Chain A
Amino acid sequence: MKEKKRKEKRVIPGFGLSLGITLALLGFIVLIPLCSLVVFSAQLSFSEFITTITRPRVLASYVVSFETAFVAAVIDAVMGILLAWVLVRYDFPGKKIMNGIIELPFALPTAVAGIALTHLTTTDGWVGSFFSNTFGIELAYTKIGITIALVFIGIPFVVRSVEPVLEKIDIQYEEAANIMGANGRQTVFQVILPEILPALISGFALSFARGLGEYGSVVFIAGNKPYETEIAPLMIMSELQEYDYSSATSIALVMLVTAFIILFINAVIQSKTSKIISGIA
């Protein structure tokens, strides 16, 4: 209460200036373009919208995007927990390097990652030839290839969400569990996992949403066969190249809404569990 009262009088200068600059940039870069999206969408006729987004090829691309992004986010969640655990709990040579390398997908341009992963996973690539000779599985130009690219893109999201929470878990919880006779597995699954679950969901949601929209790394490895390995962002791209802005916008709206729903569900989960988070964040 005291806090609120004090801040009613603005002692610190620069409110007008900083708000002005913020709003000007926000308006020009974010709001005007978003408004034009809204205006343009409003001009679309509803039946045209439905026809566009229910075209079999578009529907297939949604399914491809959704499937691959989901599987990739699950793999990222599992590997992300393992990586966060190893980085927080263990000391070993090369730990600092491992910690730095996790961020590589943020630093490496997606197109570079895309062409490198593609070349590695084609049937004569270093990794692809191994898989095609041993298991008879083709990686590049299939959904597996898309998933590999999305795993690459999404891994830091999970690690960076889980890591700080894992760091802050009080050792007393584990000690108490030990004293009460829990074994290692019970401690992990019944004491630690529930604590990091909200952070894990958050990391999962971020990498899932990112995977749905990802273009640069996927477009090379996907092969872009209609109905099979064509992702939704690519559909938008090809409509744009044909200057069919209505179709592009319709497809994009579905993707935008999906991404916002994922992030909204995540926000709801986070605020419901904020009691756990508040001690940490």
Chain B
Amino acid sequence: MNIRKNSGPVKWILIGICTLFLLIMLILPLTYVMATAFKDGIQVFVKAVTDEYALKAIWLTIEVTFITVVVNTILGVFASWCLTRFQFKGKKLISSLIDLPVTVSPIIAGLIYVLTFGRQSALYPYLQGAGIKIIFAVPGVVLATIFVTFPFVSREIIPVLTAQGTDEEEAAALMGAGGFTIFKEVTFPHIKWPLLYGIVLCTARAMGEFGAVSVLSGHLRGKTNTMPLYIELLYQGYDFTGAFAVSAILVLMAVVILILRSVLENKGKKEGV
């Protein structure tokens, strides 16, 4: 009896346990958000999400997510180029420092920015003089979000480029192609899908970041409240329908992201990257 092709009761018991676990742990919360959001009818939902502050929170989330994705994509492309195309001292250190932020608790991520730019920091008088507000303002929210998603793009590209080797780029360079041409014609086709994949993951985490942003935002309604913070505010004000209505938008985004993710994964696999 080959256990790979086991079709006996064990298989179905295990599948049953897993399905039950996922249904209760993952699907049920998802369904619950949607059910509660639309419990009092679609009008209540629409009213909750078109509230002045809700719209501001949605817009701020879009802004923050966009900036974060742009910065981390730039980092992802250049860092992976630098780390996989060249040999140099300190390479390992740079690579571990890039990965470091994901191991740091979001609250601690927020804390270190407060220590850097807050009132007790050596930088504070200069920032004050220049009229730049970082803590309890949008720049702080953006910085914290960039921090917690820092390696999301680069760590998807680096393994692919490492596996790829440098032969193709070297050949192109020897034949006289410039840096940008090499990247566009030789490297980019290989990393297209992993790059998009990383961007999708980065988007997901950026729009949902709560802990780090919560430390830095100062919770100024309509100014520094992103969607997750706005949800917290509604929830703590016992406006549960409102909280779940705004959550429903994020749930829909999460589902879209999951679908995109599996599409991109399949594309990447098909092209053998």
Q: Give me the interface of A with B, judged by CB distance under 8 Å.
A: 4, 7-8, 10-15, 17-19, 21-23, 25-26, 29-34, 36-37, 40, 79, 82-83, 85-86, 89-90, 92, 94, 96, 98-113, 115-117, 119-120, 126-127, 148, 151-152, 155, 171, 174-175, 178, 184, 187-188, 209, 212-216, 220, 233, 236-237, 240, 245, 248-249, 252, 255-256, 259-260, 263
Do A237 and B29 have beta carbons less than 8 Å apart? no
Q: C-beta contact mask, B113-130 vs A, less than 8 Å → 1, else 0? A: 111101011000000000
A31-B97, A112-B247, A184-B3 known; 13 new pairs, CB 8 Å cut-off, are A11-B173, A14-B179, A17-B179, A19-B88, A21-B75, A25-B79, A30-B147, A36-B121, A109-B208, A110-B208, A216-B106, A216-B211, A255-B108
Nearest chain-A residue to B81 (Cβ)? A18
Min Cβ gap B98→A in Å is 6
Nearest chain-A residue to B107 (Cβ)? A233
Q: A188 contacts which chain B residues (CB < 8 A)?
A: 3
Min Cβ gap B18→A in Å is 5
Nearest chain-B residue to A183 (Cβ)? B1
Do A115 and B214 have beta carbons less than 8 Å apart? no
Nearest chain-A residue to B96 (Cβ)? A267
Q: C-beta contact mask, B180-206 vs A, less than 8 Å → 1, else 0? A: 001100000000000000000100110
Q: A220 contacts which chain B residues (CB < 8 A)?
A: 232, 235
Do B3 and A187 have beta carbons less than 8 Å apart? yes
Interface class of chain B by DSSP: helix
Q: A100 contacts which chain B residues (CB < 8 A)?
A: 258-259, 261-262
- Of A98, A103, A115, A171, which one neighbours B247 at CB under 8 angstroms? A115
Q: Give me the interface of B with A, judged by CB distance under 8 Å.
A: 1-4, 6, 10-11, 14-15, 17-19, 21-22, 24-30, 32-33, 36, 71, 74-75, 78-79, 81-83, 85-88, 94, 97-98, 100-101, 103-108, 110-116, 118, 120-121, 143, 146-147, 150, 166, 169-170, 173-174, 178-179, 182-183, 201, 204-205, 207-211, 214-215, 227-229, 231-232, 235, 240, 243-244, 247, 250-251, 253-255, 257-259, 261-262
A-B contact pairs, 24 of them (CB 8 A): A14-B85, A21-B79, A22-B75, A22-B94, A23-B94, A25-B75, A29-B146, A29-B147, A32-B116, A36-B115, A83-B22, A89-B6, A109-B207, A109-B210, A111-B232, A111-B247, A174-B3, A174-B4, A184-B3, A213-B105, A216-B211, A245-B114, A245-B115, A259-B104
Q: B235 contacts which chain A residues (CB < 8 A)?
A: 115, 220
- Of B28, B174, B231, B254, which one neighbours A111 at CB under 8 angstroms? B231
Q: B244 contacts which chain A residues (CB < 8 A)?
A: 115-116
Q: B178 contacts which chain A residues (CB < 8 A)?
A: 13
Do A216 and B228 have beta carbons less than 8 Å apart? yes
- Of B25, B98, B113, which one neighbours A155 at CB under 8 angstroms? B25
Interface class of chain A by DSSP: helix
- Of A18, A171, A215, A260, which one neighbours B103 at CB under 8 angstroms? A260
Q: B26 contacts which chain A residues (CB < 8 A)?
A: 101-102, 104-105, 152, 155
Q: B182 contacts which chain A residues (CB < 8 A)?
A: 12-14
Min Cβ gap A272→B in Å is 18
- Of B10, B183, B243, B254, which one neighbours A107 at CB under 8 angstroms? B254
Q: If A40-B115, A152-B25 touch, does A116 touch B32 (CB 8 Å cutoff)?
A: yes
Q: How far is the CA of A183 from the CA of B31 in the complex (A)?
A: 41
Q: Which of A7, A12, A100, A115 has the most CB of B within 10 A?
A: A12
Min Cβ gap B92→A in Å is 12
Q: A101 contacts which chain B residues (CB < 8 A)?
A: 22, 26-27, 258
Q: B229 contacts which chain A residues (CB < 8 A)?
A: 111
Q: How far is the CA of A152 from the CA of B30 in the complex (A)?
A: 12
Do B254 and A108 have beta carbons less than 8 Å apart? yes
Q: B204 contacts which chain A residues (CB < 8 A)?
A: 106-107
Q: B100 contacts which chain A residues (CB < 8 A)?
A: 30, 34
Do B25 and A151 have beta carbons less than 8 Å apart? yes
Q: How far is the CA of A89 from the CA of B253 in the complex (A)?
A: 31
Min Cβ gap A11→B in Å is 5
Q: How far is the CA of A102 from the CA of B167 in the complex (A)?
A: 37
Q: How far is the CA of A175 from the CA of B3 in the complex (A)?
A: 9
Nearest chain-A residue to B246 (Cβ)? A112
Do A29 and B150 have beta carbons less than 8 Å apart? yes
Q: B32 contacts which chain A residues (CB < 8 A)?
A: 116, 119-120, 126
Do B33 and A116 have beta carbons less than 8 Å apart? yes
Do B231 and A115 have beta carbons less than 8 Å apart? yes
Do A215 and B114 have beta carbons less than 8 Å apart? no
